[in-house]
Amino acid sequence: MPLLPTRPTPVPGEMKASYIVLRNFRSSTRDAFGSALGLPGIQPFNTFVDSVPSLRIETLDHRDIPSVTQDADVAAIAPVMPVRLIQPMGDAAVVPAAPGSVTWGVQAVRADTSPFTGNGVVVAVLDTGIDPTHAAFQGVSLVQKNFTTEADHDLDGHGTHCAGTIFGRDVGGTRIGVAPGIQKALIGKVLGASGGSSAGIADAIYWALENGADVISMSLGIDYTGYVAQLQAAGFPVELAVSRALEGFRLNLGLFSAMATVVRQRSALVRPALLIAAAGNESRRDVDSSFEVGVGVPAVAEGFHAVGALRQATGGLRLASFSNTGANLCAPGVSIDSARLGGGLRSLSGTSMATPHVAGVAALWAERIRRFRTLTLGEWTTRLAGSATLSPLHPEIDFSDIGLGLVQAPQE
């Protein structure tokens, strides 16, 4: 069963819908995270701070939002919006393993020459789930939780591919994982055949934090056009549906930014964590060089690391034509070989494929810092961002598309 609603429930006339409300309850009123949803008791942060951030789903009239936001305990409020998989671009080609080979993405981020493997780092992958029987994940402790109405395992293969790039073991002698020394991974299935919801993503982020995630990787985005269609199907005229969807997009941006603030506060008191998300594949520079779409939610939210995709080209790496503009960092995202649902390898392209490269490099930096001193969010973020390089990139690349550049694994 889903933990949170997957569809908004607007009713013309009453104007009611499901809203995600992030509240900071005082210590005197601490209760289990998600208790309003009937979930098992989990008490986030209450040993460490005076207030308990708690997500709740509340059915509200649209006109009540201004009064709700005036409540001192409310940190953010946003309508439940559909979330979709950032679909890979092009055909998914099955590729043969080649003993002794290393994928070009692993080489480009220099993980193959790094003395670090991600040992001791916990990574969370919020996606379509995972194929736990795949050879790439043997020996990894997989903690799985299903936030959809589908079967627990991966039915799409997208999550399996992304997880393989982050921490997959060699498959048939081919190295596919950036951080193959990771021993524990949290696998949140937040996307099914019909997508997911912003409420489910928010819930899964908290779940990952409560289970000790250091890195949280997300290759997904808010489905703005899908929300417009849902509102129209519920009876809203097109102008009102577009207006309401725009407001919902803005409020969800604020919600995820507020959640990132909670993560930063928790990082200083409990355990640092990084939020890494795909920039999106909506740009079409192959059709028109000016056809550029900006980074979507949640990647564009403050506190998230938005990842763009690079491709191999003569004269240096270039931005993938589909990669959305405004990313913070970039990584290989075209023709990436990784774990295939059911076994073996397949090649996919997308910012979804670039994101796990950054997540893996972040894990390597976390291990490196911990080897010498206590890991802090400030140093970790600085080291990851500071590793980014422009040297392998084509000189004509647009810096507004790639952020600081191509992330690099620590070498010593």
Catalytic residue selected from 197, 352, 357, 387 = 352
Is 129 a domain residue? yes
**What is the residue type of 209?**
L
Residues 172 and 73 in one domain: no
Strands 74-79 and 16-26: antiparallel
Q: State which of 34, 58, 81 marks the end of a domain.
A: 81
Active site residue 352: yes
**pLDDT tens digits for 9-57?**
444 445 678 889 898 755 433 333 333 333 333 334 333 344 457 888 8
Identify how many contiguous H helices and E strands the chain contains and give both numbers: 9, 17
Tell me which residue range forms the domain holding 44.
16-81
Q: Which of 81, 109, 130 is the last residue of a domain?
A: 81
Same domain, 211 and 64: no
- Measure Cα distances from 224 to 7, 17, 43, 117, 232 in Å: 13, 16, 33, 38, 13
- Per-residue pLDDT tens over the stretch 187-235: 999 999 888 899 999 999 999 999 999 999 999 888 777 788 888 888 8
Catalytic residue among 18, 54, 114, 127: 127
Q: Is 127 a catalytic residue?
A: yes
Q: Are 55 and 203 in contact (CB under 8 A)?
A: yes
Cβ-based burial of 215 (10 A; exposed 0-12, middle 13-18, buried ≥19): buried
Q: What is the pLDDT of residues 371-411, one digit of tens each?
A: 999 999 999 999 999 999 999 999 888 888 889 999 999 99
Residue 355 belongs to what H/E stretch? helix 351-372
Question: 96 or 185: which carries more pLDDT confidence?
Answer: 185
**Model confidence, pTM:** 0.87
For residues 123-134, average pLDDT: 97
**In the prediction, which pLDDT does 142 show?**
98
Active-site residue, selected from the candidate residues 134, 153, 158, 305:
158
- Averaged pLDDT, 279-296: 86
Q: How far apart are CA 215 and CA 360, in angstroms?
A: 9
Note if the bond before 298 is cis, omega within 30 degrees. yes
Give the number of domains in the chain. Answer: 2
- Whether residues 98 and 75 fall in one domain: no
Is a pLDDT exceeding 90 seen at residue 86? no
315 located within any domain: yes
Asked if 133 contacts 123 with a C-beta cutoff of 8 angstroms, the reply is no
Residues 77 and 145 in one domain: no
> What is the chain's Cα-based Rg?
21
User: What single DSSP character describes residue 150?
Assistant: S
In a domain, residue 97? The reply is yes
d(CA 109, CA 15): 49
* Lookup: tokens for 304: 């998230």
Give the mean pLDDT of the chain: 86
150 vs 363, which has greater pLDDT?
Answer: 363
Angstrom CA distances, 130 to 80, 134, 157, 190, 254, stand at: 25, 9, 7, 11, 30
